[in-house]
Structure 1
Amino acid sequence: MSRAVIYEKFGGPEVLELKEVPEPHAGPGEVRVRVTAAGLNPMDWIIASMPEGAAKWGITLPAGFGSDFVGVVDEIGAGAEGYAEGDRVYGGAIAQAVADYAIVQTGPSAFYRLLPLPDGISDAVGAALPTPGLTAAAALDTIGVRSGDTVLIGGAAGGVGVLAVQLAKLADARVIGTASPGTFEFLRSLGVEPVEYGTGLVGRVRALAPEGVTAAADLFGAETAEAALELGVPAQRISTIAVGANPPGGVRATGGTDAAPGSLERITDAILAGTITVPIAASFPLENFREAVELQAGRHVHGKVVITT
């Protein structure tokens, strides 16, 4: 037997339960990973609380919880090439990560790639990377952020935001990030010029950048995308990750599936070089998973919430 966080009906953190389940095994084209850390994302509780969110990912009840993880390969199915038992890896498996084991599809059709985690990167940091890293890279690559840009990034202190602002800085862009005042000092430490979100955002950005904004990425809702349009940013240089197929004003909807090959490797290289930092807001043992989920779902932490197994 092994442990996994399971839910049998849709709802908030209260529907999640830590249960003893039969130990899973790798089938053809699969590897089994002994999970050591799982990083939480908004999509995890959206899937668990909304049937339409679960349906988008093909999730049916009962279901596991969480997607991003770090662990060690300990079982390899027939035809799963490129892995060896004992490999330290990171990646994703939808609705499987908060558990003792995750079963991961390999091959070109897999949604997530299972990647080797470099020495020098902790389990907690590795678990914080797959979904946020791919999403941040896609949000910036979609709009071609480059040297000389002034980029407005909405939701700059969130799990995706902290990576996006640092990737934009590495591209030699000026970065203005929307956030709550309590995160301003943290954002300034990353080289970001913070601005408070909410009513009056356009005026505050104009005061901060009177010469104008050239690109924008909205990582939380549509407010930043709408402000960027009002500021005169062309729609093709505005991306959004949170409004589905109907972004405002024809701006470019994107997500982790649009990330360029090698995006996560580029981020891990930058972490090892000390040019990107990944703040871990809190870490909880698997037995305290509900406290971790409640903290992450509140959306008031800067940095990642991690569960260790």
Structure 2
Amino acid sequence: MEKKIRAVLLTTAGVLTAMLFWSWKHRPPEAVLVRTAAAETQDIYNSVTIFGMVESAESTAVCPAENAVVNAVYAKAGDTVQKGDILCTLTDIGRSQTAADYWQTAQSVFAISGTVNTVTAEDAHALYAPMDGTVLTVPQAGESVSADMPCIQIANPGKLRVRAQSPELYVGELAVGQRANITFSAVDGTFHAGLTAIAPAAVKTFSLTNEDAEATVEVLLDLNGSTENLRPGYSATVKVFTDHRDDAAVVPYEAICQRGEQEFVFCVQDGHAVQCAVQTGYLLEDTVEIIDGLPTGVSVILSPPDELTDGDPVEVQT
């Protein structure tokens, strides 16, 4: 009798142990604690940043009638003058100016580029302001000036633009008509502009350190609105908007996972992680554009743990 009782107890213990083991083996996995954010829509813009300088969009350069030496100067760079104001007097030295004098003249001449109206003085002994405006450059007393080279430039301060240099890498993204935001070191606030011209050829700037020269392409941007506080020569940081998309789907960049070449996110559906393959677009400041693979409004898991797999139960942190 005692042996039978012992056998029953052992059998019962074995059955209970097997049941406990089976229950432990088939227990539901613990939910993974996760943080989430909702996929949203927003208007997004792609842009490139280039650098340049303010210049007058309307200016006139003056060449002397003859080779001459400057006697006296009555204005300096930055002065406001009116049409007809005398700027300097000259002594005619004829066409026998020496090579050294020509070199001195070339060193002093303002580097004029772009569309600048150039006039030749009628008076061989004086140079006058050809228009109302601001003096950009003027020779110094005792300096030699050449009939072939402008030595004075007057600009209209009310018509300003920005001349910027774009690395060749960005040129394919630029197009006339694109809008831009421009900031200046010397002036607070953001100014708006439109891209009006792109040079047909690139230029390489050579370095004194013998480093490889970078090819750049000049672009012009017309400033919109008031330019009262700007001056020619101010340095400019130009943000050109090259593309925009309305109502684009975006998610925080922490939601994007990658295995090999496949990009995906984990969505939360009915308390479980669901792996969704996605195609990403622009990388923005703190979000990523989703071109395909994700409906808006769903919750995506941020910084999912490496061991998280498709179908795992999750618990969202509150």
Same fold (TM over 0.5): no
Q: Which structure carries more helix by proportion?
A: 1
Instruction: Give the structure with higher Rg (CA).
Output: 2
Tell me which of the two structures has the higher relative contact order, counting C-alpha pairs closer than 8 angstroms and 6 or more residues apart: 2
Give the TM interval when normalised to the shorter protein: under 0.3
Q: TM-score with structure 1 length normalisation?
A: 0.25
Q: TM-score with structure 2 length normalisation?
A: 0.25
